[in-house]
Amino acid sequence: MTLASDTTLDDFLGGRLTLEQPSTGYRAGVDPVLLAAAVPATAGQSVLELGCGTGAAMLCLAARVPGLTLTGVEVQDRYADLCRANAARNEIAADIHTADLRAMPTEIRGQSFDHVIMNPPYFDPATGNPSAARDKDTAFRGDTDLRDWVDQAARRLRHKGHLTLIQKAHRLADVLAAMDDRMGSIVVTPIAGRTRYDADRVLVRARKGGRAAFRLTAPVVLHTGSAHTKDREDYRPEIAAILRNGAAFPNIG
């Protein structure tokens, strides 16, 4: 495939995946890879990603768990097109819809899924200043309330299906407030850059119809040491295994 003049081709999972992304604006990094590693999917199950972007999370998940049925929804035309191209480039079957999640396509409204995954915008659209790059602003702030994201996930999940999401730690209260009585068995895993650092992100997993008690797991620490002291990668071995080899998160419930 020929690359556009304003995109780059980037390796993920140690080169197991290659993704075409815009040179500027929103670019997938570590977070969607961590999200994919937290999804408890097994072969033969169905996965819906809300806000799939260029496909990093769903394609990383597919690289770890073969035999999934993948569906994505992305509001931005260009990113949806890149997601389709990236799925084809990596020979992974995926059905990608260009749509606002608040106006879900008829084909998706008629389905239920074993898993819904998402990396919703990190900042409240009612606060802060918009980015000059419209696509980046949509990815990081958007104009869709977190309650709408969780509501659509709950609508699309089959009974006992899992919702898995990654979000900024300061918005955990918003995520939990968006969980209504359809969603239970909530597990929150804080993610910190280093020991003695506050958590910056959280992984949240919930189950439709779940009744287990709320769990707050031990934090996941990404890097060794308490500070970055050398110009080299210093991910903890279990995190390096996720980022380079597509491993699953160990022991997060």
Beta bridge pairs of residue 187: 205, 215
pLDDT score of 139: 42
C-alpha to C-alpha distance for 164 and 115, rounded to whole angstroms: 8
Domain extents in the chain: 7-245
Question: If DSSP states are collapsed to H, E and C, what string results for 221-244?
Answer: ECECCCCCCCCCCCECHHHHHHHH
Please give the structure tokens belonging to residue 252.
């997060």
**What is the average pLDDT value for the chain, to the nearest integer?**
90
pLDDT, tens digit (0-9, with 9 covering 90-100), for 210-249: 999 999 999 999 999 766 656 567 899 999 999 999 999 9
CA 36, 145, 48, 90 torsion: positive or negative? negative
pLDDT (tens digit, 9 = 90+) per residue, 100-143? 999 999 999 999 999 999 999 986 666 555 544 444 444 444 56
- At the fourth CATH level, which superfamily is domain 7-245? Vaccinia Virus protein VP39 (3.40.50.150)
Distance CA 97, CA 177 (A): 28
Q: How much is the pTM?
A: 0.90
* 220, two tokens: 């996941």
Residue written as token pair 């990815």: 139
